[in-house]
Structures are given as structure tokens and as C-alpha cells.
């Protein structure tokens, strides 16, 4: 005979807002000021707008892809103050005053960043959906470790999912970019 399952405790009420502080209503806009790809940007945004949506819809930077919307796939990865973050997990208002780099800010079609060029030359992409997140994550890795071995590359990219390449061309691209950057 199994023991009875205890009842689930009730959910505690949400904490109240301390006096003197305010909560922004969902329909009110908040001004966000930040630097995106080296350019100072300002825009009014709803307080619940995700950074990924802000970049794609408000700033028209569509290189940031939205996949799972749970921070699992890595397609929405951007650099926040130089470090990779999942833009689908951050509210745009939380990056006020910060520096954001998207794949568009890493290089241009005429002057690609070495990681972008290596992905192209090594066929580190197929459908391209995961590519922006992979490239930004790889760029961060190489900024901190200029000579990573394959295990380190795979570990750094573990949070970026690719359904097309089987990862080997991506690892080769990161290795090739590391050689160029050294």
C-alpha cells in the first residue's frame, strides 16, 4: 500500500509593490536607450517586449532568429556587453544603457568577420537558421580562447542547436577562424 500524496500547498500571493515604487502598466511604453552594433539607438517599447522582438521588429535587425522562445536552441543569441545571451529570454527594457551586438554588427557582406568567412568557406551552415547564434557564440569563444581544441569548441557551442550540418563543418569553421584570428 502506498502512502497518500500530500496536498499541494497554495501558491503564495504576489508580493506587493513597496511604497514609493511603481509598476509600469503593460500598455505603457518605456524608453530604451542602448548601443546596437556600435550605433546609439532609442525607442519606446512595451515593458514586456522581448529583446529578440525589439531587435527584429522595432530595429529591423532580422539576423537574430527566434526558434524555441525558451532559450534552448540558441538561434536568438546576441552579444550583450560582449558576452553571449539568449535574446528571447531578456526583456528589452533590461538592456537599457547596455551594448548589444547582433550578427549584422559583426561584419558586412563586403567585409565579413573571420568567423563569418570561415562558416562560409567551411560550409558551416545549411539552412542558416542557427547560423547567427553559432557565429556570435564562436566569436565570443575565440575572443577568450584564441586556440581552442575541438572539445572546447563543441563545449562552447553546446547551447546552439543545428538540425542540418551534423556539427562537424561548424567545428571546422571555428578552427579555421581561430587560425585567421591568431
Q: What is the mean pLDDT of residues 34-62?
A: 97
The pLDDT value given to residue 35 = 98
Residues 128 and 150 in one domain: yes
Domain CATH number, residue 142: 1.10.150.120
Question: What integer best gives the mean pLDDT of the chain?
Answer: 90
Confirm whether pTM is higher than 0.85.
no
Instruction: Give residue 27's pLDDT band: very low, low, confident or very high (50, 70, 90).
Output: confident
Together in a domain, 65 and 114: no
Q: 114 with 160, same domain?
A: yes
Q: Are residues 61 and 72 in the same domain?
A: yes
For residue 80, the model assigns a pLDDT of 97
End-to-end CA distance of the chain: 67
Decide if 172 is inside a domain: yes
Question: What does each C-alpha distance from 150 to 30, 80, 155, 169 come to in angstroms?
Answer: 44, 25, 8, 12
CATH of the domain at 74: 3.10.20.30
Average pLDDT over residues 84-92: 96
Tell me which residue range forms the domain holding 98.
Answer: 30-104
Residue 139 is assigned to a structural domain of this protein: yes
Choosing from 71, 104, 137, the residue where a domain stops is: 104
Q: What is the pLDDT of residues 114-146, one digit of tens each?
A: 999 999 999 998 888 999 999 999 999 999 999
Domain boundary among 104, 125, 156: 104
Amino acid at each position: 500500500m502506498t502512502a497518500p500524496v500530500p496536498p499541494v500547498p497554495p501558491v503564495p500571493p504576489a508580493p506587493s509593490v513597496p511604497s514609493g515604487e511603481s509598476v509600469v502598466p503593460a500598455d505603457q511604453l518605456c524608453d530604451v536607450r542602448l548601443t546596437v552594433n556600435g550605433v546609439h539607438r532609442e525607442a519606446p517599447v512595451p515593458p514586456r517586449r522581448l529583446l529578440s522582438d525589439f531587435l527584429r521588429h522595432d530595429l529591423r535587425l532580422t539576423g537574430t532568429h527566434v526558434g524555441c522562445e525558451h532559450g534552448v536552441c540558441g538561434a536568438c543569441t546576441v552579444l550583450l556587453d560582449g558576452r553571449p545571451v539568449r535574446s528571447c529570454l531578456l526583456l528589452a527594457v533590461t538592456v537599457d544603457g547596455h551594448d548589444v551586438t547582433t550578427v549584422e554588427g559583426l561584419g558586412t557582406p563586403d567585409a565579413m568577420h573571420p568567423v563569418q568567412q570561415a562558416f562560409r568557406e567551411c560550409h558551416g551552415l545549411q539552412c542558416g537558421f542557427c547560423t547567427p547564434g553559432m557565429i556570435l557564440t564562436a566569436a565570443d569563444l575565440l575572443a577568450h580562447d584564441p586556440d581552442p581544441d575541438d572539445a572546447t569548441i563543441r563545449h562552447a557551442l553546446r547551447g546552439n542547436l543545428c538540425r542540418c550540418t551534423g556539427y562537424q563543418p561548424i567545428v571546422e569553421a571555428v578552427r579555421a577562424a581561430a587560425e585567421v584570428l591568431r
